[in-house]
Amino acid sequence: MQDGGKGFDLFFVAMARWQLGEKDRASQLYDQGAAWTRKNQPSNRELQAVQLEANALLHGSAQTRR
């Protein structure tokens, strides 16, 4: 796995919170992960893939939320 640890963490915890029914907290964490990714690792393909997975779970879409 490439650098981008904080972004990965935020997306994975967002997905876990969503599964636990903590929808608002999951959305907050997703937004933090998206902001962190844009600022720190915008071209990290592995991180983008995890963001797409989180987005699909939280928002029902395979496109990134901006």
User: What digits encode the pLDDT tens for the residues 12-64?
Assistant: 999 999 999 999 999 999 999 999 999 999 999 999 999 999 999 999 965 54
Q: How many CA atoms lie within 13 A of 4 on its CB side?
A: 23
CA-angle at 17, arms to 43 and 31, nearest 5°: 40
Q: What is the pTM of this model?
A: 0.85
Q: Where are the domains of the chain?
A: 5-59
CA nearest neighbour of 32 among 65, 61, 1? 65
Amino acid at 11: F
Residue 65 per-residue DSSP state? P
The span from the CA of 14 to the CA of 37, in Å, is 14
